[in-house]
Amino acid sequence: MSAKLKTSIDTFIGDFGQMVETIRIAGLSGEVTAEDITLQECYTDCCATIASKGVLSVTQSGDVTEIKVEPFLYRIDFSVEVKGQTILKADIADITVRDEELFAKRIDGDVVYRLYEPKASAPRPLILFLHGGGECGSDNLLQLTGTIGAISLAKRFPDMFVLAPQAPDYGTTMQEFFAKLIATGDPFRVCVGAPTNISLGDRGWNRDYVGRVCDLIRKMIAEGRVDASRVYVIGMSMGGAGVITTVSSAPDLFAAAVPICPSMNGDSYPLLENWPDVPAYIATAYIDHQAGRHAYILRALTKLWESGRKDMKYTLFTPEELEAYGIFASPNLTEREIRAANHNSWVLVLHNEYGILDWMISHRK
């Protein structure tokens, strides 16, 4: 990229995470038209197979060229070519995220989190949002941008606190963590009694970390800011398993829980099978990349239902329901890609399909 070109982008959080909608480039000479611009690796769907329609409009003011595009996925390594000059994603340092400002940045000890605060002064309900495995770290941003989630909840329930902590990675990448799981057995099967992956220092929603997240909520309750009878927890994938771990860690704290496509393993399955007295609604796709997930969940819930628990609900989204949200079994996809796409079932929950969010906030302790 030419040193003269300074590039910024505007993004928002769509159903499949952070999406680019505007590109601004300073330092281009002469008139720039849509025909002068080529977008590479710019996709609109969760599987990164449908190309963006590209440039919608181009305007120029002074030395700044503003390019409006059909929104495309930020997570893919895209590039923009303008008049023979190529701008790589890695070259773009100035990135805005629509509605990020709704959430204050906070750190308490080594607990990194974002907090949306309602304007109401009386004690208000709180929703704890737990992100998935790809958003671990310490940048205090990925938990807002990686998927639809915290921002969507704050906009739907502006009268409630939304607490979005970021799970630690302790310097371990997702690939390294997965390799560790494989080394101790099949990470897609439930092996009760296998070495735990939620102990002190483990990447993700380990018991020590979620315990301290719960301490933050207790502090807000003690300060009179949060209604102790209306604290909820929701999360997806690794965060769905994190919901199970968190409720296990502090069952007295929550009025209701929504684990979405929770990872089923030797940690989460026995905790779910012995679920405490907290209403829960579990939702996932009819099948995804963990083929046995749905059977494990059903087996644990069946045990609870047979014991008389009527406050445990379970929904499997059908292919048609997923397709309505752009999560589809295209003939251009492999079976593995279809299953991976189906894992995005949290999109339906965050759009309140089956009234799952309404069900959650209707509960009081």
Give the per-residue pLDDT at 178.
73
Same domain for 88 and 173?
A: no
CA distance 167 to 239: 9
pLDDT at 1: 39
Statement to judge: residues 225 and 294 lie in one domain: yes
Residues 20 and 61 in one domain: yes
CATH of the domain at 72: 2.60.40
Domain co-membership, 176 together with 250: yes
Same domain, 160 and 50: no
pLDDT of residue 29: 85
Residue at 54 is within a domain: yes
Per-residue pLDDT of the chain (365 residues; tens, 9 = 90+): 345 589 999 999 999 999 999 999 998 888 999 999 999 999 999 999 999 999 999 999 999 999 999 999 999 999 999 988 999 999 998 999 999 999 999 999 999 999 999 999 899 999 999 999 999 999 999 999 999 999 999 999 999 999 999 999 988 777 777 777 777 666 677 777 677 777 778 889 999 999 999 999 999 999 999 999 999 999 999 999 999 999 999 999 999 999 999 999 889 999 999 999 999 999 999 999 888 999 999 999 999 999 999 999 999 999 999 999 999 867 778 888 889 999 999 999 999 999 999 999 999 99
Report which residue type is found at 174. M
Strands across the sheet with 79-82, in order?
37-40, 79-82, 85-88
Please tell me the predicted confidence (pLDDT) of residue 2: 44
Mark which of 64, 96, 128 sits at the end of a domain: 96
Same domain, 174 and 195: yes
Residues 39 and 104 in one domain: no
For residues 256 and 235, give the distance between their C-alpha atoms in angstroms, rounded to a whole number.
Answer: 12
Determine the Cα–Cα distance for residues 136 and 130; give it in Å rounded to an integer: 10
CATH number at residue 110: 3.40.50.1820
Last residue of a domain, one of 96, 113, 135: 96
Q: Are residues 237 and 176 in the same domain?
A: yes
Question: Based on the domain organization, do 63 and 121 belong to the same domain?
Answer: no
Specify the pLDDT at position 241: 96
| 36 and 185 together in one domain | no
Among the candidates 40, 73, 96, a domain finishes at 96
In a domain, residue 226? The reply is: yes
Expressed as residue numbers, the domain containing 74 is 6-96
**pLDDT number for residue 174:** 76
Helices (H), 157-292: 174-183, 207-222, 238-249, 268-273
Same domain, 124 and 167: yes
Q: Is residue 200 part of a domain?
A: yes
- Closest by alpha carbon to 274, among 295, 244, 313? 244
Q: Are residues 41 and 177 in the same domain?
A: no
The verdict on residue 1 lying in a domain is: no
Look at the chain and report how many structural domains it folds into: 2
Phi and psi, residue 104, nearest 5°:
-75, 145
Residue 340 within any structural domain of the chain: yes
What is the pLDDT at residue 217?
Answer: 98
